[in-house]
Amino acid sequence: MTTIGIVRHGITEWNRLRISQGCADVPLNDTGRKQAAAIAQRLAEENPWDLIVSSDLSRARETAEIIAEKLQMPISRLDQRIREISCGEIEGTTEAERLEKWGADWRSLDLGMEKTEDVAARGLAFIKELAEQHPGKRILMVSHGALIGLTLQALLPDQFLKTDLDNTSITILEQAEGLWQCPLYNCTKHLTALQPME
């Protein structure tokens, strides 16, 4: 069986302020680093992992680096294909700013946002490639909320009609004999000691 543990990056200041990030390269804030240390500690105490891959955006990369240091293993690959959805002109804006600039129907405008089906397609292709290249291995993948959610919806549409991923949550995918299942979704039990979060 091939196992892929998908971790959403730690929180950033833009997350906290509800500013659209997309592919903007926003770093973790101090809370995000504590969250990353907490998931790293959890992963070190559970079943061992064989390799780590990550989005190349700094918030994911730094989360992966904190995990990799704790697990005493290198990051095998930084890959643009598992970046967050590109949000075009709305990157760097809050909902209030979008309403002021483009009006209530801003979602219907062409503001250069990447199509969700394209995000799902690249996420799905990446997951399947990981499973093909590393059969029987346990792989950690550090990525972003929308990318992870859209990938899960494409891979297991009956299970995931909608998704909502917390920062540094872990979701487990397993593939055996060509079939995928998700025995763990959006688990954040490692964060209980950090409550209340900012």
User: Annotated binding residue at 12?
Assistant: yes
Catalytic residue among 9, 62, 91, 144: 9
The answer to whether 33 touches 185, Cβ cutoff 8 Å, is: no
User: Annotated binding residue at 33?
Assistant: no
Using the structure block, give the residue that is written with the tokens 């680096």.
65
Distance CA 114, CA 90 (A): 11
User: Annotated binding residue at 83?
Assistant: no
Catalytic residue among 65, 84, 91, 190: 84
User: Annotated binding residue at 14?
Assistant: yes
Distance CA 117, CA 103 (A): 25
In the annotation, is 9 catalytic?
A: yes
User: Annotated binding residue at 52?
Assistant: no
User: Annotated binding residue at 88?
Assistant: no
User: Annotated binding residue at 15?
Assistant: yes
In the annotation, is 45 catalytic?
A: no
Mode of pairing for the β-strands spanning 2-8 and 138-143: parallel
Q: Which residue, 105, 40, 47, is CA-closest to 72?
A: 40
Residues marked active site are found at 9, 84
Binding site for substrate: which residues?
8-15, 59
Q: List binding-site positions.
A: 8-15, 59
